[in-house]
A and B are shown apart, each in its own frame.
Chain A
Amino acid sequence: GAGVSQSPSNKVTEKGKDVELRCDPISGHTALYWYRQSLGQGLEFLIYFQGNSAPDKSGLPSDRFSAERTGGSVSTLTIQRTQQEDSAVYLCASSLAVGGGYNEQFFGPGTRLTVL
């Protein structure tokens, strides 16, 4: 079956522009997670969704970052007024339900964001 998909695969933007990154989770997965992978910070958690709700936004690095999820499916991560330090690979993962243990997270291929 189809795995987690993300688009675009690569995005190059100019400093100060807004970008939208999209994640399509595995059908039926209620939990969705966003992570960021950068050279300086490694892999870091950004935000997660349980259904359409985001109970924990503590990982978002600044108020320029926001995310939403609609219909319990597609999620969009928006970065406003991009800065060079936002350059990273943004990863999305989904799992059947929220929680660790046996709820395996399946990762997408990532979106590589480059801010010039």
Chain B
Amino acid sequence: AQRVTQPEKLLSVFKGAPVELKCNYSYSGSPELFWYVQYSRQRLQLLLRHISRESIKGFTADLNKGETSFHLKKPFAQEEDSAMYYCALGDSWGKLQFGAGTQVVVTP
């Protein structure tokens, strides 16, 4: 069965410290993985997707098929990174299955 697991509900880090949000998935086919972010009082929005292999706002995520993981990383957290982050698994029709989300709080 498809599943997306984000083990951390809350991640509290200091400004300038590295941050890593964990995401593990189970999927029988070829996965399409995404990270979505929801800032306070804003809409859910795409942060990055694995096929683009891009860095957005300093964040990167590498798909590790062996470990079935898609962890999100940033070397130096900023206060504006405080938000709710969702890992999502997409199928060929674009249906997204979301993890439970990780609330990131960056303190100065």
Residue ranges of A at the interface with B (Cβ–Cβ < 8 Å): 3, 31, 33, 35, 42-45, 48, 50, 55-56, 59, 91, 93, 95, 98-110
The distance in angstroms between the C-alpha atoms of A116 and B34, with both chains bound, is 35
Are A100 and B91 interface neighbours, CB within 8 A? yes
Given contacts A48-B94, A100-B96, A101-B32, 20 further A-B contacts (CB under 8 A): A3-B43, A33-B96, A35-B96, A43-B96, A43-B101, A45-B96, A48-B95, A56-B95, A98-B94, A100-B32, A100-B49, A100-B90, A100-B93, A100-B94, A102-B52, A103-B94, A104-B49, A105-B94, A106-B45, A107-B44
Are B43 and A107 interface neighbours, CB within 8 A? yes
Partner of A99, one of B86, B94, B97, B101: B94
User: Secondary structure of the B side of the interface?
Assistant: mixed
The distance in angstroms between the C-alpha atoms of A110 and B43, with both chains bound, is 8
- Given A107-B43, A108-B43, A109-B43, A102–B51 Cβ distance below 8 Å? yes
- Given A107-B44, A107-B45, A55–B96 Cβ distance below 8 Å? no
Are A45 and B43 interface neighbours, CB within 8 A? no
Give B33 Cβ to nearest chain A Cβ, in Å. Answer: 9
Q: Determine if B11 is an interface residue (Cβ-Cβ < 8 Å).
A: no
Are B95 and A33 interface neighbours, CB within 8 A? yes
Are A44 and B98 interface neighbours, CB within 8 A? yes
Give A114 Cβ to nearest chain B Cβ, in Å. Answer: 18
Residues 42-56 (chain B) with a chain A CB within 8 angstroms: 43-46, 49, 51-52
Q: Show 18 A/B contacts (Cβ-Cβ < 8 Å), sorted by A.
A: A31-B94, A33-B95, A33-B96, A43-B86, A45-B97, A50-B93, A56-B95, A98-B93, A99-B94, A100-B32, A100-B92, A100-B93, A101-B49, A102-B52, A104-B49, A106-B45, A107-B44, A107-B45
The distance in angstroms between the C-alpha atoms of A106 and B42, with both chains bound, is 12
The distance in angstroms between the C-alpha atoms of A56 and B96, with both chains bound, is 13
Give A91 Cβ to nearest chain B Cβ, in Å. Answer: 7
Query: Contact mask B77-108 → A, CB, 8 Å, 1/0?
Result: 00000000010001111111111110000000
